[in-house]
């Protein structure tokens, strides 16, 4: 990390808060960045993101947190909590985590994960899961550094019309 980046972090600490409906336009650049790193981005346009965001914000089992430096949204994490048949408490799954490319290496992703872990404890969750594409070696390394272990394999099937 450069001296300038370190100084910027000291003068503008990272703040994390729950997203609101009003944040939808601020998250679209982050989602666009996410589309560039996933192996199979959606086939249709980007327009569905706004509609999905609005739907998710109405569902109390879904949570979106935003990370800010100053007024700029620099990170996003979306997770949801659900009951399972085998656990006595709920389980949580991180669906999306993205940090603006210009802010990688500043601990933003780690802080978002830490906040989610705290929230999961408050919700009585027994586990927190995350999946990433096998080709995304940086993400897999990051999640291991955050304390995630490879305990299962996530298999995926694309559903075609």
**Domains identified in the chain and CATH numbers:** 3-145 (3.40.630.30)
How high is the mean pLDDT of the chain? 85
Long-range contacts of 97-100 (CB under 8 A, 24+ apart): 97/130, 98/30, 98/31, 98/33, 98/34, 99/30, 99/67, 99/74, 99/75, 100/29, 100/30, 100/33, 100/73, 100/74, 100/75
Q: Is the pLDDT of residue 72 over 50?
A: yes
Q: Is the pLDDT of residue 23 over 90?
A: yes
Whether the Cβ atoms of residue 132 and residue 139 lie closer than 8 Å to each other: yes
* pLDDT value of position 10: 47
CA 103 to chain centre: 15
107 or 159, higher pLDDT: 107
Beta strands in 58-157 (DSSP E): 62-69, 72-82, 91-99, 127-130
Residue pLDDT, tens place only, 81-118: 999 999 999 999 999 999 999 999 999 999 999 999 99
* pLDDT value of position 124: 96
* pLDDT value of position 50: 84
- Starting at the edge strand found earlier in the chain, the sheet holding 14-18 runs 14-18, 62-69, 72-82, 91-99, 127-130
């Amino acid at each position: 990390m450069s001296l300038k980046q370190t100084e910027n972090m000291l003068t503008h600490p990272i703040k994390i808060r729950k997203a609101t409906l009003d944040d939808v336009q601020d998250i679209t650049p982050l989602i666009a960045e996410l589309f560039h790193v996933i192996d199979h981005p959606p086939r249709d346009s980007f327009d569905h993101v706004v509609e999905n965001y609005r739907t998710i914000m109405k569902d109390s089992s879904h949570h979106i947190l935003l990370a800010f430096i100053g007024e700029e949204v620099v990170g996003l994490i979306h997770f949801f909590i659900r009951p399972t048949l085998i656990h006595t408490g709920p389980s949580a799954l991180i669906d999306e985590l993205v940090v603006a490319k210009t802010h990688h290496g500043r601990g933003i992703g780690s802080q978002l994960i830490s906040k989610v872990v705290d929230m999961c404890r408050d919700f009585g969750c027994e586990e927190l899961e995350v999946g990433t594409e096998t080709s995304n070696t940086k993400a897999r390394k990051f999640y291991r550094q955050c304390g995630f272990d490879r305990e299962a394999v996530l298999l995926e099937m694309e559903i075609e019309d």
